[in-house]
Amino acid sequence: MSRRRTLGPKKKLALLLSAATVAGGGAFVMANTSNAAQTPTTKSAADSTVCQGLATALGNNQRFIEAQRANPDAQSEARIANREAVIEEIKRKQEASGCQVGESAQGSQAGQQAAPSQPAQGDQAGGGQQAGDDQAGGGQQAGGGAAAGEQVCQGSTVTLSGEDGAPAASSNQFPAGTKLKVTNLDNNKSTTVEVTSVSGSCVLLNNAAFEQVREPGKFLIRRALIEKVG
């Protein structure tokens, strides 16, 4: 006959406590794993072309505001209010795209800021109205003297200003009324737009113009051909 071994009360209690501890630890690990899986990963400009484009657009608008505050005129408050609204819209796009909200970058636009002595006259809130010829000391802005059909802003990336309205561009090198052709060499799409306002970079396209040449899901054109056509 076989004898059945029985456990004493103390051993049974110890086994129950051990089992409960193991089960609790497993539940804790599973909960942490589940929470980690639900936490979205925030991408930086270095990790995503979308984020880089938005960061560049944000930086360009911030730089424009700084220039307006450094050299204010009668329209500066209206321009600043308009660009602040644009910045908030860019931040919403950053959040929706999983980017770091508020990340700002200048990208290849660095060093292209207009000189402090250059006035930014006629850049109305909304960016849709033409400005007079922005001149510094009676001469056109850098790049304004390029001949029609000449390639300009070589090496520059192109992003959006975030402004609404009909297709248009803003620039710190070309006066209002200048017509520029922007070609995205990655998809061979082109748009010809008129400069209607001042910005902190060579060429910024507004939302409508950028949509005409962008690649789906991207907010930055790395390989751009920019020509002055009028």
Q: Kindly report, residue by residue over 67-91, the tens digit of the pLDDT.
A: 889 989 888 888 888 888 888 988 9
Q: Could you tell me if residue 18 is inside a domain?
A: no
DSSP 8-class letter at 205: E
Number of domains in the chain: 1
Q: Could you tell me if residue 91 is inside a domain?
A: yes
Q: What is the pLDDT of residue 167?
A: 96
DSSP 8-class letter at 109: G
DSSP 8-class letter at 3: P
- 3-state DSSP call for residue 168? coil
* DSSP run (H or E) holding 82: helix 76-96
What distances in angstroms separate CA 176 from CA 67, 196, 203, one per listed residue? 18, 5, 12
Structure tokens at 21: 């501890």
Q: Could you tell me if residue 55 is inside a domain?
A: yes
* DSSP run (H or E) holding 18: helix 9-38
Q: Could you tell me if residue 201 is inside a domain?
A: yes
Q: What is the pLDDT of residue 126?
A: 35
The CB-side HSE value for 157 (13 A sphere, CA atoms) comes to 23
Q: Is the pLDDT of residue 195 over 50?
A: yes
Q: Could you tell me if residue 33 is inside a domain?
A: no
Q: Could you tell me if residue 74 is inside a domain?
A: yes
Rounded to the nearest integer, the mean pLDDT of the chain is 74
Q: Could you tell me if residue 30 is inside a domain?
A: no
Return the minimum-mean-pLDDT range out of 40-44, 50-54, 156-160, 209-213.
Answer: 40-44
Q: Could you tell me if residue 38 is inside a domain?
A: no
Return the minimum-mean-pLDDT range out of 17-21, 169-173, 178-182.
Answer: 17-21
How does strand 179-184 pair with strand 224-228?
antiparallel
Q: How far apart are CA 121 and CA 136, in angstroms?
A: 11
Q: How far apart are CA 190 and CA 83, in angstroms?
A: 26
Q: CA torsion angle for 191, 132, 111, 90 (degrees, to 10)?
A: -60
Q: Kindly report, residue by residue over 5-37, the tens digit of the pLDDT.
A: 555 665 655 655 565 555 555 554 454 555 545
Q: What is the pLDDT of residue 182?
A: 96
Query: What is the model's pTM?
Result: 0.56
Beta strands in the chain (DSSP E): 135-136, 139-140, 150-152, 158-160, 169-171, 179-184, 189-198, 204-205, 220-221, 224-228
Assign residue 111 the CATH number of its domain: 2.40.40.10
223: containing domain: 49-228
Strand partners, 171: 198
User: Which range has the top average pLDDT, 27-41, 99-113, 121-135, 144-158?
Assistant: 144-158
Read off the pLDDT band of 174 (50, 70, 90). Answer: very high
Q: What is the pLDDT of residue 25?
A: 53
How does strand 189-198 pair with strand 179-184?
antiparallel
